[in-house]
Amino acid sequence: MDSYEIQWKRSAERDLWGIEQQYILQIIKANESLADNPFPSQCRKLMGAENLYRIRIGNYTAIYQRTFTAFFRMPHH
């Protein structure tokens, strides 16, 4: 099975600076795992948005887009 290429949006990279330290490694690992499996069992499709999905990582929700490249965004709760 082929892997996807994962690219972080600049805004997602900046968001990492504001995230609690204990979640940063979990977020990075979750991001890397999407390269092999862009639809993990805990992902949910966002209604009204084409190709946008979310996964929960601790207190955070990762929003990503599966096209030829996945983009990762970390909105704060």
Domain architecture of the chain: domains with CATH = 5-73 (3.30.2310.20)
Mean pLDDT for all residues in the chain: 81
pLDDT of 35 reads 85
pTM: 0.71
The tokens describing 45, both together, are 């499709």
How many C-beta atoms lie closer than 10 Å to residue 70's C-beta?
Answer: 19
pLDDT of 71 reads 52
Contacts of 26 (CB under 8 A, 6+ apart): 57, 58
| Average pLDDT value for residue range 29-33 | 88
